Amino acid sequence: MNTLVMTVGVLAAALAAVQPASAQTTLDAVRSKGYVQCGVNTGLAGFSQPDSKGMWRGIDVDLCRAVSAAVFGDAAKVRYTPLTAQQRFTALQSGEVDVLARNTTWTITRDTSLGLNFVGVNYYDGQGFMVPKKLNVKSAKQLNGATVCVQPGTTTELNLADYFRANRMTFKPVVIEKLEEVLNAYFAGRCDVYTTDVSGLVAVRASRAPNPADHVILPEVISKEPLGPVVRHGDDRWFDVVKWSLFAMLEAEELGLGAKTIDQHLNSTNPSIQRFTGATGDIGKALGLDNRWAYSIVKQVGNYGESFERNLVPLGFERGLNRLWTQGGLMYAPPIR
Amino acid sequence: MGTDPIFRTAGSIPDWARANLFSSWPNALLTIGIVYVLWQALPSLVNWAFIEAVWHAPDSKACRAASGGGACWAFVAEKHRFILFGTYPFDQHWRPALACIVLVALWSVSALRAFWKWWLALVWTGGLAVIALLMWGGAFGLPYVENERWGGLILTLLLTSFGLAFAFPLAILLALARRSTMPALQGLAVGFIELVRGVPLISLLFMASVMLPLFLPAGVTIDKLLRAQIALILFAAAYLAEVVRGGLQAIPAGQYEAADALGFSYWRKTLLVVLPQALRVSIPPLVNSFIAFFKDTSLVLIIGLFDLLSTIKVSLTEPAWTGFGVEAYLFASLIYFAFCYSMSRYSQNLERGLAKAEEGRRR
């Protein structure tokens, strides 16, 4: 009897010792450990990738740095956990990472049954087609009967079949598992078309094509792949912090505030800019942060456009859908007021 | 090796060639065939690897333009620090480099039979403390580096060293348990060995990295590196246990009976009579397993740890430097080869040395 009571007591004590960790909000936990643990891709050019010096770079990495700047006023307080596609959701669910910024497509299943919350979209992607220029193809509608190189097992293959069926066209798939080999097949002329997400097409054309000008990416985008940062269900405070870190980068671009120029606007009389930099109002407090949270993000990381310029434009990406709404794109931040 | 009987040493070169290369018609044909293949392959290989190779270039395009189809070693020159040290802070790279040297020195010292004394354990304890201090830092003015940033060669070496260091004793215990007469102990050992051997290493790593965190209470996380290390230890232990068991079975029953007749207890019998002989018999398969395990650690790339092979893979994805897989993987294979080959040479020497010692004792 005594041992039973003791066992129960020990178990209860162990549970109690464990409990506070889960009851604590993520923001408090992040503050007390002193850094943001950010789950990123193990290596995807432009999104998250270590450079030759082992420094992480990319737009997903910039999102992590923005969150760190908002919470600590210092963009460098991030620790990166490189994650594979299979690990990423478990790592977030189990609390191994605080934010998952790993080019993850926002779908309803992931947003609901996986227990995740997508905070927004930091890159609008979609599946497209690349063809050699010499074929003189101007539209995907002209691809009837084409041989298409595609990697198996992803939604890419299904979207491809759907698109051709919907347009009453036929195609001959060349299905190859390894990226390296599928690219070799395309560049060797084994197929007329290569299909994957447009971001992937752009990167491949810039880095792998013997002569990038010999290949064109067709205008049709046949699927929606909104990529965005993710947090766990059930912690609205943290959800707000990450969400508004992303929005602050978009809003800064809209207001014309950049890393180099924001200091010149500190004395601006524009009320939107005053609210943004924390000169007036208590917006940071409402988030549980310092009032200069947005200023720190822009000062240290830059606005969304600058991040895009720095990471994606050198690879040959065009802004396209990722322009601000004022310029005909989809990037739109709710008002910061 | 001059002592190998396969190479008959003779006085002059023509004699030597006749004896070794043209001793019979099939041998002569083989020699001519091999010389022909080398004649065809070597010039273009040398041309690719050295003559037309480019050693310095700002990026892949410049490298391709500068080389007339030769190797682009500029890739390795640019990326070698990332490949060797991963995302470890760039200005602190001397720390993992030194840690690698300490680790290799520890292994080399342990390899010399003159140092097989009890104080070797102290040397290892000290060496590992130095490595921990170098890698983590946080004392003596070294900035703290969390182990998520460890990568490259040192990660491969650490995973292998700790994997083998913990798996080997565990394997001996498992092998002894499997041959034990106690049914519960035997059942446990058999169950563990068959379970772990029955699944691929990849699935063990996945279990450790994806499933295990879900079973732990919220807010409790075990370090990713530690989880992978434990999975590797369990995997290696199961395989090594079977190797050791093979050695145990090779010991004649007379040895056991003689030890029993001397009134030895179970542990004295095992430690003084059975294991020393059994382990000597199992040196070749053990080294075989060690080498296989060293290379198996590269599978951690599927759970996002940056070991030597993962850093190569990641460095190949940078757009400015893509398309140099051949050069990169050659670099990796050189490193792997250096380690694996020295392991196998050492085991041969060890076998020879032990055989000589045995002969001396019998005489």
Measured CA to CA, the distance from residue B293 to residue B157 in angstroms comes to 11
In terms of residue numbers, what domain contains B180? 153-305
Q: Is residue B255 in some structural domain?
A: yes
Is A187's pLDDT higher than 50? Answer: yes
Contact (CB, 8 A) for A323 and A331: yes
- Top residue of A40, A207, A315 to mutate, by most chain B CBs within 10 Å, is A207
Is A1's pLDDT higher than 60? Answer: no
Tokens at A26, concatenated: 């993520």
pLDDT digits (tens, 9 = 90+) for A102-125: 999 898 989 998 999 999 999 999
Tokens at B193, concatenated: 């060995």
pLDDT along chain B (363 residues), means of 10: 50 79 86 91 86 78 75 86 90 91 89 80 88 87 86 91 91 92 92 92 88 76 86 94 92 90 90 88 88 91 87 83 83 92 87 79 66
CATH number at residue B287: 1.10.3720.10
Tell which residue, A52, A48, A43, has the closest CA to residue A61. Answer: A48
Top-confidence residue, B12 or A54: A54
The residue-averaged pLDDT of A69-76 equals 95
| Size of chain B, expressed as the number of residues it contains | 363
Residues of chain A neighbouring B304 (CB-CB closer than 8 A): 42, 81-84, 87
**Burial readout B212-239 (b: 16 or more C-beta within 10 A, e: otherwise):** bbeeeeeeebeebbebbbbbbbbbbbbb
Tell which residue, A78, A63, A60, A40, has the closest CA to residue A245. Answer: A63
Q: Is residue B83 in some structural domain?
A: no
Q: Which residue carries 């398309």 as its tokens?
A: B323
Tell which residue, B300, B310, B299, B307, has the closest CA to residue B150. Answer: B307
Q: Which residue of A has its CA nearest to B301?
A: A84
pLDDT at A16: 41
User: Among partner residues B89, B209, B218, which is closest to A95 by beta-carbon distance?
Assistant: B218
Residues of chain B neighbouring A49 (CB-CB closer than 8 A): 314, 317-318
CB contact under 8 A, A207 and B60: yes
Q: Is B55 exposed, middle or buried (0-12, 13-18, 19+ CB in 10 A)?
A: middle
Give the distance from residue A225's alpha carbon to the nearest chain B alpha carbon, in angstroms: 21
The gap from C-alpha A331 to its chain's centroid, in whole angstroms, comes to 13
CATH topology of domain A11-124+226-327: D-Maltodextrin-Binding Protein; domain 2 (3.40.190)
Q: Is residue B162 in some structural domain?
A: yes
Residue B184 neighbours by CB under 8 Å, 6+ apart? none
Q: Is residue B286 in some structural domain?
A: yes
CB contact under 8 A, B87 and A54: yes
pLDDT at B148: 85
Measured CA to CA, the distance from residue B309 to residue B156 in angstroms comes to 9
CB contact under 8 A, B209 and A203: no
Is A11-124+226-327's fold the same as A127-223's? yes
pLDDT at A44: 85
Measured CA to CA, the distance from residue B30 to residue B295 in angstroms comes to 33
Q: Is residue B1 in some structural domain?
A: no
Top-confidence residue, B23 or A166: A166
The residue-averaged pLDDT of A78-102 equals 90
For the beta carbon of residue B281, count every other beta carbon within 10 angstroms: 16
Tokens at A197, concatenated: 């997400």
Measured CA to CA, the distance from residue B151 to residue B173 in angstroms comes to 32
Q: Which residue of A has its CA nearest to B323?
A: A208
How many domains does chain B fold into? 1
pLDDT at B283: 85
Q: Is residue B256 in some structural domain?
A: yes
Q: Which residue of B has its CA nearest to A41?
A: B304
Top-confidence residue, B1 or A305: A305
User: Among partner residues A54, A80, A91, which is closest to B82 by beta-carbon distance?
Assistant: A54
pLDDT at A17: 42
For the beta carbon of residue B65, count every other beta carbon within 10 angstroms: 10
Give the class (CATH, top level) of A127-223: alpha beta
Tell which residue, A124, A160, A155, has the closest CA to residue A318. Answer: A124
Phi, psi (degrees; rounded to nearest 5) at A296: -60, -40
Does the predicted TM-score (pTM) go above 0.95?
no
Taking the alpha carbons at both ends of chain A, their separation in whole angstroms is 62
CB contact under 8 A, B221 and A96: yes
The residue-averaged pLDDT of A87-96 equals 88
Is A10's pLDDT higher than 60? Answer: no
CB contact under 8 A, A42 and B304: yes
Where along chain A do its domains lie?
A: 11-124+226-327, 127-223
Contact (CB, 8 A) for B303 and B203: no
CB contact under 8 A, B210 and A180: no
Top-confidence residue, A191 or B319: A191
Q: Which residue carries 């395989």 as its tokens?
A: B239
For the beta carbon of residue B313, count every other beta carbon within 10 angstroms: 19
Bin A192: left if φ > 0, else alpha if -120 < ψ < 50, else beta: alpha
For residue B135, the one-letter residue type is: M
* CB-based contact, B150 to chain A, within 8 Å: no
User: Among partner residues A18, A52, A180, which is closest to B217 by beta-carbon distance?
Assistant: A18
Measured CA to CA, the distance from residue A266 to residue A300 in angstroms comes to 15
pLDDT at B9: 55
**pLDDT band for position A202 (50/70/90)?**
confident
Give the distance from residue B226's alpha carbon to the nearest chain A alpha carbon, in angstroms: 13
Q: DSSP labels for A18-69?
A: HHHHHHS-HHHHHHHHTSEEEEEESSBTTTBEE-TTS-EESHHHHHHHHHHH
